[in-house]
Amino acid sequence: MLGLDPTPRSVNEEILGRLAIWQHLKSEWDVGIAPSRLRQVGLYGGAQGVWVDKARTRALTPDDHGIAVAILHNGVSYDDDLTPDGVLYHYPSTERPVSRDEGEIRAMKWAMVLKVPIFVIIKKGDLRQVELGWVDDFDDPAKLFAVSFGDEPRGAIRLEESSEPFKLTAPRLRRSASTWIRVGQRDFAFNVMRRYGPACAGCGIGVSQVLDAAHLRPKTRNGSDDSRNGLPLCALHHRALDSRLWVIEPDSTDFVAVRRDISLSDLRLTFSSLDHLPALPHREALLDVWHYAGAS
């Protein structure tokens, strides 16, 4: 019967077993697969976001935490984190004992260190879409895993150095049959949270469900995915910035209200500048927003 080896003797055996299942069931996953089928082949075993199957894989890791087998994306929460080339997966934070969440985080990190593929299960109504994923990187302060889709891992995500040449623009987005494909969005979002910290630059809210990695020069105007062209913003302040209700003075980084009838306090901006951030966006990106908004 098709399924994962109940007693893998090595990490390499586990890798080969997962890849074999992927090749065998790939055609089923392209059109959607029933949850019962996932359980049948041992790829999922509960309602939790990270499926570890600790009893089967604990012997493959020095700390007995095991290796993550699959992660569940419910298609609603953190929807913007799911892109055609991968997903940003938030660390589990539940009401279970802390050790359970920490164990799942460790199991995800072991999948990265040992280069073992995981299965990304995406809810599509009553069926499930499945992608072969690789844990490429993680950021503890932002509590994020960067997972890519494909036949092999892409490796750690490089954060741009401040001394590197900055590119404000990039080639236009590719278009699919029905929507823009946001190539590079996963890496951009991961690096924005890593560079500036996982809290809104305008108000300080750190609730991940309402945080966006916002482009200063947007993708619709060929904005690049350099993290220096971005800021972490809550949904309110992201939308207000896109609507040019407020901007950031490029030299002082002070916040400025663009319209006379709407003040910074009306927009609930609790900071007055970007001085509180550990790093700053590139001046060229701030200048682009400033000029585009007609600020003076």
pLDDT over 50 (residue 171): yes
Residue-wise pLDDT for 176-192, tens only, equals 444 445 557 889 999 99
Q: How far apart are CA 87 and CA 133, in angstroms?
A: 9
Q: What percent of the chain has pLDDT over 70?
A: 92
Say which CATH class 11-149 falls into: mainly beta
Mean pLDDT of 12-38: 88
Question: What pLDDT score does 173 carry?
Answer: 56
- Average pLDDT of the chain, as a whole number: 89
* H helices, E strands: number in the chain: 7, 13
Q: What is the pLDDT of residues 237-284, one digit of tens each?
A: 999 999 999 999 999 999 999 999 999 999 999 999 999 999 999 999
**pLDDT of amino acid 1:** 54
Confidence (pLDDT) at 97: 81
Contact 227, 159 (CB under 8 A): yes
Lowest average pLDDT, out of 36-50, 76-90, 191-205, goes to: 76-90
Residue bearing tokens 């570890």: 52
The pLDDT value given to residue 75: 61
Pick 10 or 294 by higher pLDDT: 10
247: β partners: 256
Residue 175 has pLDDT above 60, yes or no: no
Q: Could you tell me if 134 and 153 are in contact, meaning their C-beta atoms sit under 8 angstroms apart?
A: yes
Whether residue 150 is predicted with pLDDT greater than 70 in this model: the reply is yes
Q: Where are the domains of the chain?
A: 11-149, 174-292
Nearby residues of 167 by Cβ (< 8 Å), 6 or more positions away: 224, 226
What are all long-range contacts of 76-79, with beta carbons under 8 Å and residues at least 24 apart? Answer: 77/209, 78/208, 78/209
Q: What is the pTM of this model?
A: 0.87
